[in-house]
Structures are given as structure tokens and as C-alpha cells.
Amino acid sequence: TPVFYSGITKMRHDVKRASPTRTHRFILSLRDAGKLVRDYTQNIDCLEEKVGLSTDLRKGPGSLSRFCRKYQSRDVRGHHRVDYEPRLQETNRGIECVLLHGSLRRLRCSNCFITCCWDECGREAKTLAGQELPCPGCAEISEARTAAGKRATAIGKLRPDIVLYSKQDPWAGSISVTTPLHLFQRLDILLITGTSLATHRVKHLVKDFAKIIHKQAGKAVL
């Protein structure tokens, strides 16, 4: 455990210094052109955020209006008047990049699943030294119960908010909400890059997407 915490914290330091690649900028250009439905990544470095893509699952799938870059207005006699490109509201975009394996931004409790800022309360220095941190939320609940004369409850441990092999993904339910079928009706190409598809969950996700693409006479490019 000390080796894990120390090693993952050093990785986090490297991630903070990393810069987006041309691939990240290419994905951003698709977004700006109104052609990106969603980007799914197995990476945990959050470089997508550095180029400006939203990774917040709470924003949901977004509105279909984000694909409508131009509207045409008519005058009262029905004649075409002017084409204009409305300002695309950020709130309509929803989540643009889904972090399938989480990220190194925050720590998550193994018991109650709340997240804590890794950069606060000296947590990063402690994990760099290999320390396992107790969950402040669980500790507060347990202390309150003890003070009331009740039995103390379990206190979880804070771990990086990433999905390790054979571990349950706390965001699985939220991620499924980002893939409503009505969005897939607009897809014509699936780009698969930088993955060996060795992960069972990702492999099945790609297969499901590819089936929908092919039904729409689109293409899957690996």
C-alpha cells in the first residue's frame, strides 16, 4: 500500500506537467466544428480538460442543438433573409469527454464514495510519503455516533478516484446516462485510437457503438 500511494502521487506530479497532444487538439477541433458527439477515454491524466473539453458527468448528455451550427431566418413574406451562427451555449454541450477510468484530480472514499480534494489538508504530501488517509466524512459520522452513545461506524480510506482492474466503478450509472440512443441516430463515424481494447468493459462499449454506427450505414475506424 505505501508503494501504491507513493507511486500514484508521483504519477500525479508528472500528469500536472504534461501537455495536450495533437490528438487532443484534433478532438477539440471536432467539437468546435459541431461534429463531436462524445469522446471516451481510458486515460486518467485529464489532458482533455487542458484543451477545454468538459468532463463533468453532472452536465449530462447535452442538447442536440449543439450540432446545429447555422439557422436560417425568413422575413414575413417567406423570403430567405440571412444566415447566422448563434452562440453555442456551454450549458447545452453537456459532458464532452467521458473519463471511463476516472482521473487523478481527487480522492474517493472506499466506503461512502464521497470525493475529497487531493491538494487540500496536506493530503498530497501524505500520500507521497505512502500514507493511507482516513475519510473525513466517515470519521465525522462515526465521531457523532460515538458522542451520542451509539456504536462507532466503519471509516473508509481515501484512494485515487480511478478505476482499478477488478474494482467497481462508482460512476458506472452516471456514464450510462451520457449515451442516450437519440444521439446515436446522428452518428456516421466512430474513431477508435490509442487503445488495444484489452479491457473487457471498453471492448464491449466499442462493439455496442460500432453496431449502432453500422446500422446507420456509418463507419468504424480503428
Residue 138 among known ligand-binding residues: yes
DSSP 8-state code for residue 198: -
The C-alpha cell 444521439 sits at 183
- Helices and strands counted in the chain (H then E): 8, 10
Catalytic status, residue 80: no
Which residues neighbour 183 within 8 Å (Cβ) at sequence distance 6 or greater? 37, 38, 61, 64
Measured between its terminal Cα atoms, the distance across the chain in Å is: 37
Candidate list 79, 101, 182, 214, residue with the active-site label: 101
The answer to whether 59 touches 176, Cβ cutoff 8 Å, is no
Residue 121 among known ligand-binding residues: no
Residue 117 among known ligand-binding residues: no
Residue 112 among known ligand-binding residues: yes
- Feature table: binding site: 109, 112, 135, 138
- Feature table: binding site for Zn(2+): 109, 112, 135, 138
Residues annotated as catalytic (active site), given as ranges? 101
